[in-house]
Amino acid sequence: MGVFAEMRRAGASMLVLALACGTAEAGTDNWRFDSGNDGLVTASVYATNKLITGGGALSYSPVLTIACRADGDPAWTEWLQLNDAVSASRKITVSVAIDGDSKFDESWSVGTRGRVLMRDGADGIKRLVPANRLLLSWRFGLLSGRGQADFDLAGFSEAVNQIAGNCKTDPP
């Protein structure tokens, strides 16, 4: 099964788990956790802001997910789930600002139907451990404008530690 199919399944499982169980530990109230049978362990948080869909009729909050796979390579991944697709096919530049500091650009992979932006590696997770806020922005397309997602990272360190424990690996 591909990574993106796993992410969709993990997202659906995460929603069911969140509704059934709530959060897993104090301090991570805004995080939703999931452990799949395939070894993928995730924690997700909704953006504090809303994006308007392409048709303009609905709004939604993007979802940031951090994930670990105990016996996978790479072990750590982060992804951003969108309802509207970006027009890029393989890579997209995402502007990142942590705790209101200067923005810097990163290259993220574009997933299935352009609705998932992914970045592999423990370094991305590690830099967020001490952070309080994360602001991501990207272009939907040449003429489509920019998207922006603002995340409250309260409980991020605890979420990473919980994932690492369930994944049987060291936190980044």
All structural domains of the chain with their residue ranges: 3-167
User: What's the CA gap between 74 and 85, in Å, rounded?
Assistant: 25
Mean pLDDT in runs of 10 for the chain (172 residues)? 45 37 55 88 96 79 93 84 90 96 95 93 94 95 85 96 91 90
Q: Which of 101, 163, 93, 86 is nearest to 132 (CA)?
A: 101
| Backbone angles phi and psi of 60, in degrees to 5 | -150, 160
Is residue 52 within 8 Å of 59, Cβ to Cβ? yes
Question: 3-167 is classed in which CATH architecture?
Answer: Sandwich (2.60)
What's the pLDDT score for residue 71? 76
**57 CB neighbour count, 10 Å cutoff:** 7
What's the pLDDT score for residue 24? 40
End-to-end Cα distance, the chain: 26
Q: What is the pTM of this model?
A: 0.81
Tokens read off for 135: 């602001």
Using the Cα atoms of residue 115, residue 111, residue 69 and residue 134 in order, give the sign of their dihedral.
negative
What's the pLDDT score for residue 54? 67
What's the pLDDT score for residue 168? 86
